[in-house]
Amino acid sequence: MSKREHGLCFNKYCSLTSWLLYCCISINLVNGYSVKNYTVRGSLKYAQNINVFCNKRSLHFVPGNIPDKATYLDISNNVIQKIIKEYFSQLSNLKSLNALHNKIREVEEGAFSSLVALQELNLAYNKLTDILGGMFQNLGNLTVLHLNENLITNINFSAFSPLTSLRKVNLSRNYLKKISKVQQLFLLPQLQEVHIGSNGFTSFHTSELSNISLRLQVLDLFQNPLKVFSITADIFPHLDHLVLAFITENMTWDVQDKRYLQSVQHLNLSGIQLPLEKITDLLQTFNSSLTSLRLHFLGDIKVRALIRDVCLISPLKFLGLQWNNITSISKDEMQFCTQLTQLDLSNNNYTVSLLSSTAYQVFNLDLANNKLDSVRRGDFDSLNSLKNLSLPDNQISCIEAGSFNRLTNLIFLNLQSNKLSQCSIKASVFSRLPNLKTLLLNNNYISYGSQEPLAQPPFQYLRKLKTLNIFSQGHKGMLYFPSNLFKGLWHLEELQAENLNINSLHPDTFTYTPYLWVLDLSRNYFILLTTKIFLPLQVLKTLHLSKVGLQSLDFLIDANLSKLHLLHVSKNALSVINETLIRSFPTLIYLDLRGNYLSCDCTNAWPALLLCRDNSSTSQVWHIKMLIRQPL
């Protein structure tokens, strides 16, 4: 084809595409567009959800041509310094405004007064110093307000008065100094959640807040230098969560009647700088109600001394002990903890599991980021109620056969980021896990030398498994999938197998996984992929083949992937996508072709065709991400 003919063909194609795009927009099959300063997602015809994104554009001001039907506006991560009234004067439908991570120093009085439908306002991570009296005028529907990470030192006495529907407010990491500055906030009729951590408060007296009962459910006072915590009246009958983490002073605990905090079920004392005896006395206040306790960052010695008294809190179900440099906990120390159902021991220095000598009712056990180098038979025998076991980021290189034999109720097992090899993931390791649904083995050192079938496929007994992660194996990668590697995984729905340095697949690889919904094979440089490989995957909905060296997708034409909804093939070497291929995906709604630089000629005239096919189905909307290379 000559350059002239090529150019004529291109012009005809572009004209046809433009006309068809116009037709499709008029019948509402396109649900988004972009202009210079923002992107719109959602239908302008049906205005229930119109999302406008102006984030990360180095804007000094809010664009003036935002659709007046917008319901969500994101202006975050810009350099806006002042909010003026004109910015939002036409946005009466807006329900959520995200302005975090700007340089906002000033909000003009009444700047939000037109946002009568606003429900969430995020002004976090800015440079506000004062909250003026008219800042929140007309925001009677606002339920969530974020003002954390500013420089706020003063709040006008009447500033929060219009917020009659407010349920949650975050004022953490400011410079308020005195609790009396937020007194009016606590009196709001619907308020349930208050975060006022790291504000330099030296005392907390209920007498400075209210003399009537409040609806508050969450009170977060973390990292304040409190010298006194005083409750002298029953103003918190509904308080459920109390955060006193990282209190940096030797605080006086003055709760005149235990019943004042009898509804508290969740308590966070992480990093609290109190003597051991004061922590013990404090805990006595909650011994009839507490179900969840976090004691992170206290240190090994203090935790050991506390654990007996902690476990005598009979309602306690969750105990968090992260970041305490714990190397072990003895049978005697844990003997009264039999009522626990969740135990978080992550981010410590455990070298061996010492939980095998006492019967527990623990459902969730987290041992992530410790020093475990092996799992031995009997380590978890006392935990036969366990449903979720997390062992990532250890140094586990060996799992003894039968180590999980007593865990017949286990549904989630996380072994990622260890030193496991193919010798450690034998069928005998997983043979007694009949209810396991999720297995995470990514970021280990599992590899195979060929596609030859295994005598004992490792997953053959995991008949209920639905999710398997094996991506990013160390050294040289997994290299090969043995042809029967996935034998037994009849109900598998999701397989994450990217970045394994695999260059070919045996035709039988997926014959054992006929119900796979999601398959990710990205970042494997395949020499050849054939139709036969994908034929067993008749219910596949999402396929990731990004950065795998593809020059053509023709192998998918006869694969009968009639249920495919999402196809990601970015960063390949594709130059042509023909109409036959497109028609082989009758239910496809998302196609990612970025990084392929498709030629803009008549062989690639399919985008116009697909946009208007099957106009009777308004539910099928194509989202195409691609870069077209124009003819020379």
Task: Render pLDDT for 487-509 as a digit per residue (tens, 0 to 9).
Answer: 999 999 999 999 999 999 999 99
Q: Indicate whether 31 pLDDT > 70.
A: no
- Scanning 468-623, the segments in alpha helix (DSSP H) are 531-534, 579-583, 606-611
* Three-class secondary structure of residue 179 per DSSP: helix
Q: Indicate whether 567 pLDDT > 80.
A: yes
Q: How far apart are CA 79 and CA 612, in angstroms?
A: 41
Q: For 92-122, b where at least 16 C-beta lie within 10 A, e where not — what string?
A: ebbbbbbbbbbebbebbeebbbbbebbbbbb
Q: Indicate whether 246 pLDDT > 80.
A: yes
Contact 398, 379 (CB under 8 A): no
Alpha carbon of 577 to those of 558, 600, 604: distances in Å? 15, 11, 6
DSSP structural state of residue 174 = S
* Three-class secondary structure of residue 252 per DSSP: strand
Residue of 632, 554, 630, 553 lying closest to 599 (CA atoms): 630
Paired tokens of 131: 């909250």
Q: Indicate whether 20 pLDDT > 70.
A: no
Burial of 1 (0-12, 13-18, 19+ CB in 10 A): exposed
Q: Could you read off the pLDDT of 381-394 as tens digits, one per residue?
A: 889 999 999 999 99
Q: Could you read off the pLDDT of 454-497 as tens digits, one per residue?
A: 999 999 999 999 999 999 999 999 999 999 999 999 999 999 99
Contact 553, 579 (CB under 8 A): no
Contact 160, 166 (CB under 8 A): yes
Question: What residues contact 270, with CB distance under 8 A and at least 6 apart?
Answer: 245, 246, 294, 295, 296, 297, 298, 320, 322
Alpha carbon of 488 to those of 389, 430, 491: distances in Å? 22, 12, 8
Radius of gyration of the chain (CA): 30
Could you give the count of Cα atoms lying within 13 Å of 211 in the half-sphere of its Cβ?
A: 0
Average pLDDT, the chain: 90
Identify each DSSP E strand in 410-524 by its residue range: 412-414, 438-440, 467-469, 494-496, 518-520
Match 């995957």 to its residue by tokens: 537
* pLDDT for the residue 253: 96
> Beta 518-520 vs 467-469: how paired, if at all?
unpaired
**Would you list the DSSP string of 69-113?**
T-SEEE--SS---EE-GGGGTT-TT--EEE--SS---EE-TTTTT
Phi, psi of 468 (to 5 degrees): -130, 120
Question: What residues contact 43, with CB distance under 8 A and at least 6 apart?
Answer: 28, 31, 50
Query: In 3-state terms, the chain is what percent helix, strand and coil (to 5)?
Result: 15, 15, 70
**Would you list the DSSP string of 50-67?**
-EEE--SS--SS--S---
**Would you list the DSSP string of 601-623?**
SGGG-HHHHHHTTTTT-TT---E
Q: Could you read off the pLDDT of 124-157 as tens digits, one per residue?
A: 999 999 999 999 999 999 999 999 999 999 999 9
Q: How far apart are CA 492 and CA 463, in angstroms?
A: 8
Q: Indicate whether 333 pLDDT > 90.
A: no
Q: Could you read off the pLDDT of 297-322 as tens digits, one per residue?
A: 999 999 999 999 999 999 999 999 99
- Scanning 108-203, the segments in alpha helix (DSSP H) are 183-186
Question: What residues contact 462, with CB distance under 8 A and at least 6 apart?
Answer: 430, 433, 436, 439, 488, 489
Q: Could you read off the pLDDT of 158-175 as tens digits, one per residue?
A: 999 999 999 999 999 999
Q: Could you read off the pLDDT of 65-123 as tens digits, one per residue?
A: 899 999 999 999 999 999 999 999 999 999 999 999 999 999 999 999 999 999 999 99
Dihedral through CA 111, CA 115, CA 116, CA 117, nearest 10?
-150
Burial of 69 (0-12, 13-18, 19+ CB in 10 A): buried
pTM across the whole model = 0.89
